[in-house]
Amino acid sequence: MKLLNFFIFILIIFSFNLVKGDEINLQNKITKNLRCLICQGQSVYDSDSEFAISLKLVVKNKIDEGFSEDQIYKFLSKKYGEWILYDPQFNKNTYFLWFLPLLIFLFGGAIILKKLINIKK
Amino acid sequence: MKNRIIYFFLVIFLIFVFVIFYRGLSNSNLYTPNTDIKSIPEFTSETFFQKKTLNSKDIFNNNKFYLLNIWASWCVPCRNEHSLLINLSKSEKIEIIGLNYKDNFNNAKKFINELGNPYSIILIDRDGTKAIEWGAFGIPETFLIYENKIIKRYIGPLNLKLVDEIKNYIK
């Protein structure tokens, strides 16, 4: 019985760990998608500048307050502009960005198709 | 004929690339966010001397101009702009609020004692989170506020030209 209690105790401790772990994972995921504005070329996650340290803290606080990932992105892009996100949101300013690869793909496909038809002939 | 067309397009393409990169050389690599925060953020903070908690609503509520200045004793440009702030604080139409950013209390106090205190209230931002509420990313940074709206934002230290601009606003 004692042994069982012991195992249950250990199990509970590990499950707490998982909850905390999830939170940190989310925080890391978000900060990896944020551009450090004063040390460009680095994400907030990678940087140790004053700005990035504070921003990590803000993200952590927002997660604790129950903000979702999208809400945090929205909050920060309202303060710092879309540029802070490495993965820009889909809106009328970024249509070109998002559709360009698709257009190039279709264009390439059309060229290949035309060549194939020519060969068949 | 075909070769000539390819050659022609290649030259045009190279010129195009060259122009783009050449223009890029003169671009500033310092990004200034093009944000649309117009209203002041809501936050609570501790004051520097009295150590009492203040809400942002209770600070910017008078019908006058406010200047929020984010500063720290470890920030060298802050030291340079400080005399300009003292000069501005002599005007009665404007109230200067300081936000002490990630600073050591004793050092900040020494800084104020040495250079004078232009601030009517100094708020403390120990971990930098309040500055982020304002959308600031480096210090010094200054916001001109009127009727709970941010009308102008100055990234970097103030200079004589900018102070004149502020004086024009508050005329």
Domain limits for position B105: 44-170
Tell me the chain B residues in contact with residue A84 when contact means C-beta distances shorter than 8 Å: 33
Rounded distance, CA A71 to CA A87, Å? 14
Claim: this prediction has a pTM higher than 0.80: no
Give the contacts of A36 (CB within 8 A, at least 6 positions apart). Answer: A42, A43, A44, A46, A47, A49, A51, A52, A55
Q: Are strands B121-125 and B44-47 parallel, antiparallel or unpaired?
A: antiparallel
Cβ-defined contact of B37 to A54 (cutoff 8 Å): no
Query: Considering the domain boundaries, does residue B67 fall inside one?
Result: yes
Which among A38, A40, A54 is the nearest to B129, CB-wise? A54
Structural domain total, chain B: 1
Q: Please name the residues in contact with A77: beta carbons below 8 A apart, sequence gap of 6 or more.
A: A84, A85, A89
ipTM of the complex: 0.72
pLDDT in tens, chain B (171 residues): 778 899 999 999 999 999 999 988 887 666 666 656 677 788 888 888 888 888 877 888 778 888 999 999 998 999 989 999 998 888 888 889 999 999 998 999 999 999 999 998 899 988 888 888 888 877 889 988 888 888 888 888 888 898 888 888 887
Q: How far is A102 from chain B, CA to nearest CA, in Å?
A: 22
CATH code given to domain A2-89: 1.10.8.640
First to last CA, chain B: 70
Domain ranges in chain A? 2-89, 90-121
Using an 8 Å CB-CB cutoff, list chain B residues near A67: none
Those residues of chain B whose CB sits closer than 8 Å to some CB in chain A are 29, 31, 33-37, 102, 127-129, 131-135, 137-138
Using the beta-carbon criterion (under 8 Å), do B37 and A78 form an inter-chain contact? yes
Q: What CATH number is associated with residue B78?
A: 3.40.30.10
**Residue A7 C-alpha, separation from nearest chain B C-alpha, in angstroms:** 40
DSSP state of A85: B
